[in-house]
A and B are shown apart, each in its own frame.
Chain A
Amino acid sequence: MAVSHLECRECKARYALEALYVCEQCFGPLEVAYEQDGGARDVGELRRRIQGGPQNIWRYADFLPLAGGPPGPSGRLASRVGLPAGCTPLIRADRLAKRLGLREVWVKNDAANPTHSFKDRVVSVAVTRARELGFETIACASTGNLANSVAAHGAALGLDSFVFIPADLEEQKVLATGIYGTRVVAVEGNYDEVNRLCTELCADRDWAFVNINLRPYYAEGSKTLAFEIAEQLGWELPDRCVVPVASGSLFTKIAKGFEEWRAAGLLEGELPRMNGAQAEGCSPVATAFAEGHDICRPVKPSTIAKSLAIGNPADGPYALDLARRSGGSVDAVSDDEVRAGIALLAETTGVFTETAGGVTTAVLAKLAERGDIDPDERVVLVITGEGLKTLDAVKGTFETYAIAPTVDAFQDGVPQTVTV
């Protein structure tokens, strides 16, 4: 599936594979288009090719928008170049399933990426494409995780970087960015204002803003989450995926990944039901879904789930369309439910996620409680980030027993029965 051109998702106008992201005719988003080989390819051979590839996203290079194939001196060496993402664990979460009255729940733990979020997937692809196009400086507008990843990739590949974040971001995310030797620009304003500023800056600078002028390539990286889920399930589709929604890009591109593999003959069956997860304090997509609208009305975010705090979601209309046509939904949960979601996942799986994962877990719990999920369904919960980056969210949620170093103090001060 060789990469062919950029195409407007709205009016289908074609563009060359440059650092372009907007259709000049209708302002629609540009997407990467591939040459279709008409299903002529031998599926067995394609599977073996993938399985023989490196233990990272470059094993899916046939489905990624790079002109030169996977980075590195050869495909074999690709896993040694830069900061490769992917091949994160898919965990069978029976205890979580039981708690929710479901039969089969899997947790895709994308906190197990180099900078502890799924953003390493999209940045790996965007930065590799940026180097192909000759850029020497990379940049981004970020709610935190993307900043971590862009800064780290810049360090790993020797590229200059600028990362723009809202000034009120979690301290852990700021520290885990600055340490890579990037320039952290803390903008007074919310993410949407950071994004507007970067869109303006992008116009007059020869920089690769990974989620602006490189966005068509960047977004393709999210497909690798779908590829991995399917490969890890033994080349099968799940029945349902629960995915956090900020801009809607991850949500829609996971579905695109499944659809490309169905078209290639690698997977059989229906597109999974796609459930989007938002926090009530920033739920433009969930609100539009509930009200039956095709487009999202922007909001001013106010939620502890800062990594999802995008009030003006670029892929909102497509996320709504996907939720509807796949038989899914987009739901929102309160900040208290987010904290409870973090605890639920941690207590039943041993995975400590950030607030975005709390949102996703809480939405899964909500769907289960509402009876939306058939008990026989195979459900995948997509966990996109690491709990250590949003520690404030869990402060004060459990008791620590402070005692003197004596047996008596332990006996008197600590309850001796534990409920598991």
Chain B
Amino acid sequence: MSVVVKIPTQLRAAAGGEAEMEVQGATVQEVLEDLFERCGELRTRISDEDGSLRRFVNVYVAGEDIRFLDGLDTPVSDGSELTILPAVAGG
């Protein structure tokens, strides 16, 4: 599956300045792994040591928060969009 990952401004320097990247994977976990393969620095920025997402990172598949889906196991379809955003906004 080819998936477009939208990179938040805070991480673009660690992603070669890109605002979005096309990566491969069938689940959110696989998509993120492929992203980390390409941009190693991103791993520590958004993942904890145990591989889960840091608590102030939100990930959306087609606009839906993955915590309402299957978390990192959420399947992604070909051509879908995965968005990484900071969680500290609003209120």
Bound-state CA distance A202–B9 (Å) is: 10
- For residues 143 through 157 of chain A, which have their beta carbon under 8 Å from a beta carbon of chain B? none
Tell me the A228-278 residues at the B interface (CB within 8 Å).
246-250
Collect the chain A residues with CB atoms within 8 Å of residue B60's CB: 196
Which of B6, B8, B85, B91 contacts A249 (CB under 8 A)?
Answer: B91
0 or 1 for each of B61-91: is its CB under 8 Å from A? (1 = yes) = 0010101100000000000000101111111
| Least Cβ–Cβ distance between B62 and chain A, in angstroms | 12
Q: Kindly list the 8 A-B residue pairs having the minimum CB-CB distance in the complex, ordered from nearest.
A: A247-B91, A195-B90, A29-B88, A22-B86, A27-B56, A203-B9, A212-B89, A249-B91
A29 proximity list for chain B (CB < 8 A): 56, 88
Q: Does A386 contact B (CB under 8 A)?
A: no
Known contacts A27-B45, A196-B85; A314 and B90 CB within 8 A of each other:
yes
Q: Is A304 an interface residue (CB 8 A)?
A: no
- Residue from A24, A193, A202, A297 in contact with B67 in the complex, judged by beta carbons closer than 8 Å: A297
In the bound complex, CA of A209 to CA of B90 (Å): 9
Is A28 on the interface with B (CB-CB < 8 A)?
Answer: yes
Q: Which of B13, B46, B63 contacts A27 (CB 8 A)?
A: B46
A28 to B56, CA, bound (A): 6
In the docked arrangement, what's the CA distance between A199 and B6, Å?
12
Q: Are B83 and A215 touching (Cβ within 8 A)?
A: no
A110 at the interface (CB under 8 A from B): no
- In the complex, the answer to whether A24 meets B10 with C-beta atoms within 8 Å is yes
Q: Give the Cβ gap from A130 to chain B, nearest Cβ, in Å.
A: 16
* Main SS class of interface, A: loop
A312 and B87 contact, CB distance less than 8 A: yes
Partner of A315, one of B11, B58, B91: B91
Chain A residues contacting B58 (CB-CB under 8 Å) are: 196, 312
Q: Are B45 and A25 in contact (CB under 8 A)?
A: yes
Are A199 and B85 also in contact (CB < 8 A) when A22-B10, A27-B45 are?
yes
Residues in B neighbouring A246, C-beta threshold 8 A: 91
A43 contacts the other chain (CB 8 A): no
Instruction: Check: A192 CB closer than 8 A to any chain B CB.
Output: yes
B46, B55, B68, B90: the one contacting A317 at CB < 8 Å is B55
Please judge, given known A-B contacts A27-B10, A27-B57, A300-B68, whether A199 and B89 are in contact too, CB under 8 Å.
yes
Q: Judge whether A163 is part of the interface by a CB distance below 8 angstroms.
A: no
Q: Is A310 close to B, CB under 8 A?
A: yes
- B54 CB-CB contact with A under 8 Å: yes
Do A211 and B87 touch across chains, with their CB atoms under 8 A apart? no
Contacts of A317 in B (CB 8 A): 55
Q: What are 19 A-to-B residue pairs whose CB atoms are below 8 Å?
A: A22-B8, A22-B10, A24-B10, A24-B11, A28-B88, A192-B65, A196-B85, A198-B89, A200-B6, A211-B91, A212-B90, A215-B88, A298-B67, A300-B68, A310-B91, A312-B58, A312-B65, A315-B91, A317-B55
- The residues of A that contact B46 with a CB separation of less than 8 Å are 27
Given contacts A199-B89, A298-B67, A315-B88, 5 further A-B contacts (CB under 8 A): A22-B86, A27-B86, A211-B91, A246-B91, A313-B91
Could you say which residues of chain A place their CB within 8 Å of the CB of B89?
Answer: 21, 141, 195, 198-199, 202, 209, 211-212, 215, 314
Residues of B within 8 A of A211 (CB): 89-91
Q: How far is the CB of A390 from chain B (nearest CB, A)?
A: 19
Chain A residue, CB-CB nearest to B14: A24
Q: Are B68 and A298 in contact (CB under 8 A)?
A: yes
Residues of B within 8 A of A209 (CB): 89
Please measure, in the bound complex, the distance between the C-alpha atom of A70 and the C-alpha atom of B67, giving whole angstroms. 43
- CB of B54 within 8 A of CB of A26, answer yes
Question: Closest Cβ of chain B: how far from A225's Cβ, in Å?
Answer: 15
Which A residues touch B6, using CB under 8 A?
200
Q: Inside 8 A of A195's CB, which chain B residues have their CB?
A: 89-90
Q: Does A347 sit at the interface, judged by CB under 8 A?
A: no
User: Which residues of chain A from 330 to 368 have a CB within 8 Å of any chain B CB?
Assistant: none
Q: Is A217 an interface residue (CB 8 A)?
A: no
Q: For the complex, is A295 an interface residue (Cβ under 8 Å from B)?
A: yes
Known: A27-B45, A196-B85. A298 touches B91 (CB 8 A): no
A289 on interface, CB distance cutoff 8 Å: no
Q: How far is the CA of A195 from the CA of B90 in the complex (A)?
A: 6
Contact B55 A314 (CB under 8 A): no
CB distance from A161 to the nearest CB of B (A): 17
Residues of chain A within 8 A (CB-CB) of B67 are 297-298
Q: Most chain-B CB neighbours within 10 Å: which of A22, A198, A200, A295?
A: A22
